């Protein structure tokens, strides 16, 4: 799938206008700031493509920054997985940063707010804070600790930093407006006490900054020009701007001195937060909490289970990174929340694979077909194109013998109307071989068909005078004598409902798990597939696109995953 020119959208237009006006000196600096508390999912790819794509288009910079301010939920496994996902999508970051790199800066900024009367130490419990906050229709009430002096607040905050108080005993809160119509401005918490070992800083910090506070400072410290967030942060933007206005990081070098002291590049800016809609898909859940539960409760086979909407799962499923980029480009960037048909994503996958995936022969539900007018030891080599739409892909050799496997569904003893494949006494073309007639059907005692005995019309073989004789059906096959046995995992959508998160009927997303989302069969493949490498993708003719499993596939134990079927089998019936 070729890369198309950058699509225009409202954020790109803002960047263009800013450059024209000379804002930020014409610079474009973005960041992708994931929290390392789980694996990235397809929705995150929208933000990745947007942030890295804009920086790439305008010759700017994009940092990968880990928002590691909540060590309770974070893990180095997720840190590595996120880096792998970004690289796999085709992007590279200019600098790898961590919010924890700035812990000393956050602390200095907090002391500045206290000295300027803009923050105070509060002793209210979490429950009491909620009671004091008010509602959407009622104003909040001032904390009884809001009037503490600057000296007392500094003393208490430094003692919080020293680890004197237990978890939850105190918080540092901004002093803004408890009567604001925006609840995010009702004296929000800036720091909480949490005595947890951090993956980067160990036990150095018993207090950790809140996301809204740390995020805007991180953006400013890194010189970010356009801070791109999803719509749920729109109501948080006044707090983002308030913090930056109070701190004036570009004008106060003392705040960022700890970074320069250890050699971290620091050119503070005044970033602009811009919001866009999230990427939501039907037949999917995007909540990290729910995805985590699926993994922990072993309802799936890990974060990279090919049924999961994680990027690791999509990669293992065999989705090309180019297809995911093309999908989000096709969806576009707007402020309108919507749920996108996952069939659009699957369509992008088919488009990408159709042009690049070599063709191979495979049979997944086999029945034996014996050609009785060929000798028992008959073996020959046939030539098949690797890709029917690309002559440059060349041809490959495929062995043929007098006994082949065909798909069980390509034979019907009592044919239904419109069935044009093999029937008793009927004819069908074996792809690349010629026309065969079914002369006899061999069954087990229970009636299961175990063998079809056929004769080959030698005159219809390629290059013979009767090669153009018409029959309505053509089926594929694999030589039984040469076939490669493989484990084939037939993956489908993890949920069987378009809105698995909808619990209005008393069901949860777990009740909508699709029992047919994974089926494992023993397949028979043409022998050339014994030599393929992990993550190699092929079209199994008439069956779909399949990929050699990223981890489990090997020459001794071939394992293939179905990426997508050739057509959308979930297409909604037109009304």
User: Which tokens sit at 160?
Assistant: 């919080």
Contact 384, 398 (CB under 8 A): yes
Contact 145, 123 (CB under 8 A): yes
Label the pairing between strands 484-491 and 518-525. Answer: antiparallel
- Residues 6 or more apart whose CB falls under 8 angstroms from that of 345 comprise 42, 281, 319, 323, 324, 327
562 a catalytic residue: no
Q: Point out the catalytic residue in the list 12, 23, 35, 469.
A: 35
User: Which tokens sit at 97?
Assistant: 């940063």
Residues in the chain: 575
Residue 153 is assigned to a ligand binding site: no
User: Which tokens sit at 562?
Assistant: 């179905």
Residue 287 is assigned to a ligand binding site: yes
Q: Point out the catalytic residue in the list 288, 317, 359, 360.
A: 288
Residue 67 is assigned to a ligand binding site: yes
Residue 286 is assigned to a ligand binding site: yes
Residue 67, CA distances (Å) to 47, 79, 214, 262, 335 in order: 15, 10, 8, 20, 24
Residue 212, SS3?
Answer: helix
Residue 507 is assigned to a ligand binding site: no
User: What is the spatial distance between Cα 442 and Cα 424, in angstroms, rounded to a whole number?
Assistant: 11
- Residues 6 or more apart whose CB falls under 8 angstroms from that of 82 comprise 34, 36, 39, 40, 64, 66
Q: Point out the catalytic residue in the list 12, 118, 141, 278.
A: 278
Residue 347 is assigned to a ligand binding site: no
Residue 45 is assigned to a ligand binding site: yes
Could you count the other beta carbons within 10 Å of the beta carbon of residue 194? 16
Q: Please enumerate, as own/partner, the contacts of 151-155 that have beta carbons within 8 Å and a separation of 24 or more.
A: 152/121, 153/114, 153/119, 153/120, 153/121, 154/111, 154/114, 154/115
Residue 401 is assigned to a ligand binding site: no
Residue 46 is assigned to a ligand binding site: yes
User: Which tokens sit at 478?
Assistant: 């694999």
Residue 41 is assigned to a ligand binding site: yes
Q: How far is CA 235 from the centre of its chain?
A: 27
User: Which tokens sit at 276?
Assistant: 């866009």
User: What is the spatial distance between Cα 441 and Cα 169, in angstroms, rounded to a whole number?
Assistant: 80
Residue 230 is assigned to a ligand binding site: yes
152 a catalytic residue: no
Q: Which residue has the tokens 């809609």?
A: 277
297: left (phi over 0), alpha (psi -120 to 50) or beta: alpha
Contact 253, 267 (CB under 8 A): no
469 a catalytic residue: no
Contact 331, 279 (CB under 8 A): yes
Annotated binding site: 35-37, 41-47, 67, 211, 230, 286-288
Annotated binding site for L-glutamine: 67, 211
Annotated binding site for ATP: 35-37, 41-47, 230, 286-288
Instruction: Please identify every residue annotated as catalytic.
Output: 35, 278, 288
């Amino acid at each position: 799938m070729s890369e198309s020119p950058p699509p225009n959208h409202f954020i790109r237009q803002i960047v263009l206008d800013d450059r024209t006006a000379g804002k930020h000196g014409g610079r474009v600096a973005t960041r992708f700031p994931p929290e390392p508390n789980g694996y990235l999912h397809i929705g995150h790819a929208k933000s990745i493509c947007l942030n890295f794509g804009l920086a790439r288009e305008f010759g700017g910079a994009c940092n990968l920054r880990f928002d590691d301010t909540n060590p309770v939920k974070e893990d180095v496994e997720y840190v590595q997985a996120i880096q792998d996902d970004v690289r796999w999508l085709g992007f590279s970051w200019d600098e790898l940063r961590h919010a924890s790199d700035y812990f000393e800066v956050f602390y200095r900024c907090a002391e500045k707010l206290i000295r300027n009367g803009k923050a105070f130490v509060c002793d209210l419990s979490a429950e009491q804070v909620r009671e004091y906050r008010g509602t959407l229709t009622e104003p909040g009430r001032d904390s009884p600790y809001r009037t503490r002096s600057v000296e007392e607040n500094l003393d208490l905050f430094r003692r919080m930093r020293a680890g004197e108080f237990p978890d939850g005993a105190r918080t540092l809160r901004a002093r803004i407006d408890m009567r604001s119509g925006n609840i995010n401005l009702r004296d929000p918490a800036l720091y909480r006490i949490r005595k947890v070992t951090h993956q980067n800083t160990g036990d150095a910090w018993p207090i950790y900054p809140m996301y809204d506070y740390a995020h805007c400072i991180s953006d400013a410290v890194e010189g970010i020009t356009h801070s791109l967030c999803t719509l749920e942060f729109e109501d948080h933007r006044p707090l983002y701007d308030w913090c930056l206005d109070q701190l004036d990081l570009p004008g106060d070098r003392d705040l960022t001195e700890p970074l320069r002291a250890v050699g971290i590049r620091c050119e503070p800016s005044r970033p602009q937060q811009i919001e866009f809609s999230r990427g939501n898909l039907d037949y999917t859940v995007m909540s990290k909490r729910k995805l985590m539960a699926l993994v922990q409760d072993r309802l799936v086979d890990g974060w990279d289970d090919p049924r999961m909407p994680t990027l690791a799962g999509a990669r293992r499923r065999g989705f090309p990174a180019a297809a995911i980029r093309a999908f989000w480009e096709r969806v576009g960037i707007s402020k309108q929340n919507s749920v996108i048909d996952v069939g659009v994503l699957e369509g992008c996958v088919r488009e990408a694979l159709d042009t690049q995936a070599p063709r191979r022969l495979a049979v997944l539900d086999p029945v034996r077909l014996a050609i009785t007018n060929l000798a028992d030891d008959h073996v020959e080599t046939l030539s098949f194109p690797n890709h029917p739409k690309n002559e440059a892909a060349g041809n490959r050799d495929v062995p043929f013998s007098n006994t082949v496997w065909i798909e069980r569904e390509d034979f019907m003893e009592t044919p239904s109307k419109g069935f044009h494949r093999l029937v008793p006494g009927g004819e069908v073309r074996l792809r690349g071989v010629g026309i065969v007639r079914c002369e006899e059907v061999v069954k087990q005692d229970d009636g299961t068909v175990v063998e079809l005995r056929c004769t080959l019309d030698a005159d219809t073989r390629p290059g013979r005078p009767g090669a153009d004789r018409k029959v309505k059906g053509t089926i594929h096959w694999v030589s039984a004598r040469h076939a490669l046995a493989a484990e084939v995992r037939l993956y489908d959508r993890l949920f069987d409902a378009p809105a698995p998160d909808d619990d209005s009927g008393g069901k949860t997303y777990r009740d909508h798990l699709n029992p047919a989302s994974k089926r494992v069969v023993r397949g028979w493949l043409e022998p050339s597939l014994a030599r393929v490498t992990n993550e190699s993708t092929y079209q199994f003719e008439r069956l779909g696109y399949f990929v050699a499993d990223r981890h489990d596939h090997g020459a001794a134990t071939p394992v293939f995953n179905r990426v997508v079927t050739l057509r959308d089998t979930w297409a909604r019936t037109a009304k």
